[in-house]
Homo-oligomer: A and B are copies of this chain.
Amino acid sequence: MTTIYDVAKRAGVSVATVSKVLNGYPDVSARTREKVQQITAELGYHPNAVARGLVTRRSMTVGVFFQDHGNRGFRHPFLHDVIASFKDSIGEAGYDLLFLTEHRGNDGVFRGFESRAKQRDVDGLFLLGVPRTNSGLATLSRSQIPTVSVDLDLFGPKASYLCSDNVGGARQAVDHLVANGHRKIAFIGDRFGTKPGHDRMLGYQEALQAHALEYRPEWILEGDFGETSGYRAMRRLLAEAELPTAVFCASDMMAIGAMNAISEAGLHVGEQISIVGFDDIELARYVSPGLTTIRQNTDKMGQRAATELLELMNTTNKPPGVITVETSLVIRGTVRSIA
């Protein structure tokens, strides 16, 4: 491995000087600067970011905790997209992403978010898919580590969070249904009390009130965002005495599960029963009929997360905040006008 010493020796200067040209300091003559640059190129020298980080105390690395609960597949394309967009944005600022895992060290000690973050010396943290129940969250929120989390209301002296405008999105969904003449609208939400689940429920209720629609407890079902839970919820709903004309599902996967249940019951989605989902995952375009849904703007979410984290990391006294990203309605084929 070639080090800064090799370059210095070869160029006939001190390591300090080499370091200076590498970092663009002004107190170096044009002559030596060029000489050093030339040698650097010749030797194919790459300054070691680790050693540099050690002294500057900035690793130019942000840690990512991405919990997929072993549950790969469709729930995650959404989060994957957010990460991809985040990576692009933060990458331009020169940061690399370190995917961290909570784990038990070889000493047998369990290391959670904060511990791993300090261990790896990351400049900031990005959390996705982390369940509210995670025990490391409390200490993390109190820490001074710049953190942005998505879909999780983690808030602290250096912790901001970000999510779609779930309340507004849910209202958009119901509004769309109402605009198409529906007045009997059921809801399939989540039973875990996630922030998004909660907010979508709220939006649903607000919209109900706004349109003076009847709130029927038996039309409120619970799932876990997954396909089968949507399927089951719909089966329960179909067993009710009176059926709604439409159902709003808090996730596309649940919507798809619901669609299956409907078909199975011999009914037709978009005919007897209309459906609106939430997320706009890729799959939504492919099921048939295409799923009308509320789109979360993953690109923008990633970008906003990145700029927020950058500020948190590089601006002293930047107060944390909550970031909301607008949703949009995507009309496909699961809503029928019954005006």
Contacts and interface: CB of A to CB of B under 8 A. Distances in A.
Nearest to A87: B99
Contacts of A96: 98-101, 120
Interface in A32-69: 44, 46-51, 53-54, 59, 61, 68
A261 B97 CA distance: 41
B94 A106 contact: yes
Interface in A131-169: none
Interface of A: 1, 22, 24, 44, 46-51, 53-54, 59, 61, 68, 72-74, 76-77, 80-81, 84, 87, 91, 94, 96-101, 103, 106-107, 111, 115, 118-121, 256, 282-283, 286-288
29 contacts: A22-B107, A24-B107, A44-B115, A46-B111, A46-B118, A48-B118, A48-B121, A50-B53, A50-B54, A50-B120, A50-B121, A51-B54, A54-B54, A72-B80, A72-B81, A73-B81, A73-B282, A76-B80, A77-B77, A80-B80, A91-B101, A91-B103, A96-B101, A98-B98, A98-B99, A99-B99, A283-B283, A283-B286, A286-B286
Contacts of A44: 115
Contacts of A47: 119
B286 A256 contact: yes
B80 A46 contact: no
A110 to B, nearest CB: 12
Contacts of A87: 99, 101
B49 A119 contact: yes
Which 7 pairs between the two chains have the least Cβ-Cβ distance? A97-B99, A50-B121, A46-B118, A46-B119, A91-B101, A49-B119, A98-B98
Contacts of A91: 101, 103
A97 B94 contact: no
A8 B256 CA distance: 59
A49 B283 contact: no
Contacts of A46: 111, 115, 118-119
Contacts of A100: 96
A73 B53 CA distance: 35
Given A84-B72, A97-B98, A48 B119 contact: yes
Contacts of A286: 256, 283, 286-287
A49 B98 CA distance: 13
* Residue from A49, A50, A84, A119 having most chain B Cβ neighbours under 10 A: A50
A97 B97 CA distance: 8
A215 to B, nearest CB: 33
A121 B283 CA distance: 39
A76 B74 CA distance: 12
B288 A49 contact: no
* Residue from A73, A94, A96 having most chain B Cβ neighbours under 10 A: A96
